[in-house]
C-alpha cells in the first residue's frame, strides 16, 4: 500500500479545508498553533551565549506532538503549511525540530489564499523553511521576553506586585496617556458662527456661513462681536458675488491591508481589533458552504501590501462590467502603492472569488462573519472600479462688507461610490449640501440668520480605529500585533474604555510616567519604530538577529541595574477624608492599590478596616464618581436615595449609609421585555458596561447596547437600542427581525 504524504497546519479548520483540496493521497493534521515557547517561570534565554532561547513544549501539547511524530514516521513526505508569516515560519521550524528523522524529506509550502489553485500550485513548488523569517520572529520574541521579564520586578518593587510591562505595549500606553494630558491641559476658547438661510429664484433653500469681513477672514470670539455683525447686516441686500465650479475625480481607497481592515471594521462595525482578526482568521481558513465543503473566502489577513494578483483584477473587472456596466470599469486596472516596508509577496486582503457575493453566502455565515466579509468584498470591488466624478460648487454671497459662502457637490458619475465609501475619524467633517441653480448678480431672499456660540474642543480620546491608525503611522509594532497590543493594555488595567474611547487609569499613568522617567529610550516612539525596522531587516537577511539584540540589551541592562538600586516606592500619598473608621474611630484615608483607590483606616496595620470608595472623591478605579441625590426615599429609614457607582455598575443606595445599608439596582427608565422588571446599567467582571433586568437571575435579559425609552414605530417593540457613532449615534430596534433604525437626536451639551 502506497504511503500518504503528511501535511501539518496550525488549525483544525484550515486542516479540513486543505484536506478537501488535496484529496486521498494526503493526511492533514493540525498543530493547534505553536507547539513550543519560552518557559513560563524562568527567563529561558542564555544571554552570555548569543541570546540562545530555551524552547520547551507548551503545556498540554505533548499529545499533539506525539501524534504528529507518529504520523510523520508513517508518511512518505512531510509538508509544513502554517501561515505565510514570521509566526507561521517559527511554528514550521519548531515542528520540524520535533519530527525530523533519517533522510525523510520535510518541505515548507506557503499560500496567501486557501483556494484549490493556490494550494495545488504551492504543493507543486515546495520550498524550505525560511530561516530569516524564523530569526525575525525569534528576535521579537526574545526582545520582548528580555524587556517584560526585566521590567516586571522593577514595577513590583516601585509600584505594586503583580504588574507587568511590555516593550511595544508600553509605548502604546504612552500615546493614550499623552493624549489624556493634552485633553487635561486644553483651554477651551469661545468662537461664533453666523449662518444665513437663503432662497433663490428656484428651490431648494440653502445655507451659507460668514467667511470674510472686508478682506479679512471672519473671526468672532464673543457674543458682542456677533451682535455687532447682526446689526450691521440689517437692511443689507444679499447678492451673489462669485460662483466657482470645479470638476474633481475621486479615486477609491485601496483594498484592505491588516491595519486599514482593523480601522474600518472598528468604525463601521464597532469590532475590536481582536474580534476583527478572529473573524477574519475563520474566513481565511475556510467556511462550510453546503455541498461545496469548506472554502477559504478571503486571502491571508496579516499583510501590509495592497498588491492584487492580475487574475483577481481581471475577475473583478468582468464582474463589475456585468453588474454595473462598462463605464464602471477603469480603462487600466487600478494599481495602488504599498508602504516601503511592505512584503510584496503577500496580497491585499480580498475575497478569494469576487463572484461569491455576500448575498450568496448569507445562509452559510454567522452575522459577524457576514458583516466582515461584506466589508472586505465591497472594499475590494470598489477598489477596482472607476473614480467618481464630482462637480464642486462654491458660491460667495455679498452683504455690505460681509462675504458668506455656500458650498455644494453634485455627483456627475458615482463610480466606486455606488458600492462603497470609506469612513473617517474626523468628527468635524461636514457633508456639503445641494445648491439650486444660481447666477452672479442674483439677489437672494434672506429667510433666517442664526448666530451660534461654539467652543474649541480638546483632541478626542483614541478609539480602536484611531489608535491603530496612530500606531501604524508612527511605526509602533506591526499590524499583526495591534490586536494583542490593544488587548494587553486593557487586560493589565492600564487603560479602560469609556464610551468606546481609551482613557488611561491612574495605574496606567503611574506606570507610564515611571517608565518614561527611568527608561526614556525604551519609551521613545522613534526608538521603538527604529527597532521595528531592524526586525524587518532581519527578515530580509540584512542584519543578524543576535547583533540587533546585543545592541539593544547592553544599554538597557545597565539602565535597569541603576534603577533597581534606587530606594523607595512610587505611589501617591494617602488622601485624607472626613470619614471615620467604623471599627476604631480613627480618620479614614484614600489609599491606592493596583486595582484603584479605596478607603482604609489611617491606623493600618493596627486597624485593617477598609472598604470600596464610592463617594465624590473617586470610584473604584480612581475616577470621579459623584453621588447624585434622587427624589426617591429609602423604604427603610426615609432618607434620600443616592446614585452610586460600584464595581459592577450604577446602583441606588441610602444616603444614610453605613447606618442604613438599603440598596437596589438603578433603573434607566426602560422595562424588561421578558418580565416587565426595571432594566439597569451593570458592569461585567472585565469592566465592560451592559444592561440587564433587575430581576436577575430569575430573568436573564441582557444587552450590550443601551436601551432607549422609545417604542419602535415599525413593529411596536417596547424600546430601541442606542448604537454609538462619531456623529452621536443612531437608534435601532431591539427586535432583530425588524431592521428599523433612525438617527439619534442628541442634545447639544450631551458630549461636551
Cβ-count burial of 89 within 10 angstroms (0-12 exposed, 13-18 middle, 19+ buried)? Answer: buried
Q: Which parts of 575-687 are beta strand (E)?
A: 575-580, 587-593, 596-601, 610-612, 628-633, 640-646, 649-654, 663-665, 667-671, 678-683
Starting from the edge strand earliest in sequence, which strands make up the sheet with 575-580, in order? 575-580, 587-593, 596-601, 610-612
Strand segments (E) across 362-401: 388-399
Cα→Cα distances 189→209, 228, 457, Å: 20, 20, 8
Question: How does strand 106-108 pair with strand 26-30?
Answer: unpaired
CA-CA distance, 595 to 508, in Å (whole number)?
Answer: 11
The helix (run of H) or strand (run of E) holding residue 29 is strand 26-30
Contact 384, 313 (CB under 8 A): yes
Distance (Å, whole) CA 511 – CA 557: 19
Please give the Cα distance from 130 to 119 (Å, whole number). Answer: 19
609 CB-contact burial (10 Å; exposed 0-12 / middle 13-18 / buried 19+) = middle
CA distance 339 to 475: 11
Active site residue 691: no
* 482: nearest Cα among 168, 249, 31, 106: 168
Would you mind telling me the total number of residues written for the chain in this entry?
Answer: 752
Please tell me whether residue 382 adopts helix, strand or coil conformation. Answer: helix
Q: Which helix (DSSP H) or strand (DSSP E) does residue 707 occupy?
A: strand 707-708
Nearest alpha-carbon partner for 536 in 132, 15, 168, 57: 132
Which grid coordinates belong to 234?
Answer: 440689517
Catalytic hit among 55, 79, 284, 300: 300
Biggest CA–CA distance in the chain, Å, is 101
Cell digits of residue 432: 456639503
Beta strands at 190-199 and 206-213: parallel, antiparallel or unpaired: antiparallel
Residues noted as catalytic: 300
Amino acid at each position: 500500500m502506497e504511503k500518504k504524504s503528511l501535511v501539518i497546519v496550525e488549525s483544525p479548520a484550515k486542516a479540513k479545508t486543505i484536506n478537501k483540496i488535496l484529496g486521498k493521497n494526503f493526511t492533514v493534521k493540525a498543530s493547534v498553533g505553536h507547539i513550543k515557547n519560552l518557559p513560563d517561570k524562568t527567563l529561558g534565554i542564555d544571554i552570555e551565549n548569543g541570546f540562545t532561547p530555551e524552547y520547551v513544549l507548551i503545556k498540554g501539547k505533548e499529545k499533539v506532538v506525539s501524534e504528529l511524530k507518529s504520523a510523520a514516521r508513517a508518511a512518505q513526505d512531510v509538508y509544513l503549511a502554517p501561515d505565510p508569516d514570521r509566526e507561521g515560519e517559527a511554528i514550521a521550524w519548531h515542528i520540524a525540530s520535533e519530527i525530523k528523522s533519517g533522510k525523510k524529506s520535510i518541505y515548507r509550502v506557503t499560500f496567501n489564499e486557501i483556494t484549490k489553485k493556490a494550494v495545488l500550485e504551492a504543493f507543486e513548488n515546495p520550498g524550505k523553511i525560511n530561516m530569516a523569517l524564523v530569526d525575525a520572529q525569534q528576535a521579537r520574541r526574545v526582545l520582548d521576553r528580555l524587556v517584560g521579564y526585566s521590567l516586571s520586578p522593577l514595577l513590583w518593587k516601585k509600584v505594586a506586585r503583580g504588574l507587568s510591562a511590555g516593550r511595544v505595549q508600553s509605548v502604546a500606553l504612552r500615546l493614550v496617556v499623552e493624549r489624556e494630558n493634552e485633553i487635561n491641559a486644553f483651554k477651551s476658547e469661545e468662537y461664533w458662527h453666523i449662518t444665513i438661510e437663503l432662497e433663490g429664484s428656484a428651490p431648494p433653500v440653502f445655507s451659507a456661513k460668514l467667511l470674510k469681513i472686508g478682506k479679512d477672514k471672519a473671526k468672532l470670539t464673543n457674543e458682542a462681536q456677533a451682535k455687532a455683525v447682526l446689526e450691521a447686516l440689517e437692511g443689507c441686500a444679499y447678492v451673489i458675488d462669485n460662483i466657482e465650479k470645479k470638476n474633481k475625480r475621486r479615486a477609491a481607497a485601496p483594498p484592505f491591508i491588516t491595519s486599514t481592515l482593523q480601522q474600518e471594521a472598528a468604525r463601521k462595525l464597532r469590532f475590536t481589533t481582536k474580534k476583527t482578526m478572529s473573524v477574519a482568521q475563520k474566513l481565511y481558513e475556510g467556511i462550510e458552504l453546503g455541498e461545496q465543503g469548506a472554502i477559504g473566502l478571503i486571502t491571508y489577513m496579516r499583510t501590509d501590501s495592497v498588491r492584487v494578483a492580475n487574475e483577481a483584477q481581471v475577475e473583478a473587472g468582468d464582474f463589475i462590467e456585468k453588474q454595473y456596466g462598462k463605464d464602471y470599469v477603469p480603462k487600466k486596472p487600478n494599481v495602488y502603492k504599498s508602504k516601503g516596508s511592505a512584503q510584496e509577496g503577500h496580497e491585499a486582503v480580498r475575497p478569494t472569488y469576487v463572484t461569491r457575493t455576500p448575498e450568496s453566502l448569507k445562509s452559510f455565515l454567522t452575522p459577524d462573519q457576514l458583516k466582515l466579509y461584506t466589508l472586505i468584498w465591497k472594499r475590494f470591488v470598489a477598489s477596482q472600479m472607476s473614480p467618481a466624478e464630482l462637480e464642486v460648487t462654491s458660491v460667495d454671497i455679498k452683504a455690505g462688507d460681509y462675504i458668506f459662502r455656500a458650498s455644494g457637490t453634485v455627483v456627475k458619475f458615482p463610480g466606486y461610490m455606488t458600492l462603497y465609501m470609506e469612513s473617517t475619524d474626523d468628527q468635524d467633517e461636514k457633508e456639503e449640501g445641494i445648491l439650486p441653480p444660481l447666477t452672479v448678480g442674483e439677489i437672494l431672499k434672506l429667510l433666517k440668520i442664526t448666530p451660534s456660540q461654539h467652543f474649541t474642543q480638546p483632541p478626542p480620546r483614541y478609539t480602536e480605529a484611531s489608535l491603530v491608525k496612530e500606531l501604524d503611522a508612527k511605526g509602533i509594532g506591526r499590524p499583526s500585533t495591534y490586536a494583542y497590543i490593544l488587548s494587553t493594555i486593557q487586560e493589565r488595567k492600564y487603560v479602560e474604555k469609556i464610551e468606546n474611547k481609551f482613557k488611561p487609569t491612574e495605574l496606567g499613568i503611574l506606570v507610564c510616567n515611571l517608565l518614561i522617567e527611568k527608561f526614556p529610550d525604551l519609551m521613545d516612539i522613534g526608538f521603538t519604530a527604529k527597532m521595528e525596522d531592524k526586525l524587518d531587516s532581519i527578515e530580509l537577511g540584512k542584519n543578524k538577529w543576535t547583533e540587533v539584540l546585543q545592541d539593544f540589551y547592553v544599554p538597557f541592562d545597565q539602565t535597569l541595574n541603576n534603577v533597581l538600586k534606587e530606594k523607595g516606592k512610587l505611589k501617591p500619598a494617602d488622601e485624607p477624608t472626613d470619614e471615620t473608621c467604623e471599627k476604631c474611630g480613627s480618620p479614614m484615608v484614600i489609599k491606592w492599590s493596583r486595582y484603584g483607590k479605596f478607603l482604609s483606616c489611617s491606623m493600618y496595620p493596627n486597624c485593617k478596616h477598609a472598604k470600596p470608595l464610592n463617594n465624590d472623591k473617586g470610584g473604584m478605579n480612581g475616577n470621579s464618581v459623584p453621588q447624585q441625590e434622587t427624589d426617591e426615599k429609602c423604604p427603610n429609614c426615609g432618607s434620600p436615595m443616592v446614585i452610586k457607582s460600584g464595581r459592577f455598575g450604577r446602583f441606588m443606595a441610602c444616603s444614610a449609609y453605613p447606618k442604613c445599608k438599603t440598596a437596589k439596582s438603578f433603573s434607566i427608565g426602560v422595562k424588561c421585555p421578558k418580565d416587565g422588571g426595571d432594566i439597569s446599567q451593570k458592569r461585567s467582571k472585565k469592566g465592560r458596561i451592559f444592561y440587564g433586568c433587575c430581576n436577575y437571575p430569575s430573568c436573564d435579559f441582557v444587552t450590550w447596547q443601551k436601551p432607549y425609552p422609545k417604542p419602535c414605530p415599525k413593529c411596536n417593540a417596547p424600546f430601541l437600542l442606542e448604537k454609538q457613532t462619531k456623529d452621536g449615534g443612531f437608534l435601532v430596534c431591539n427586535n432583530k427581525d425588524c431592521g428599523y433604525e433612525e438617527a439619534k437626536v442628541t442634545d447639544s451639551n450631551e458630549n461636551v
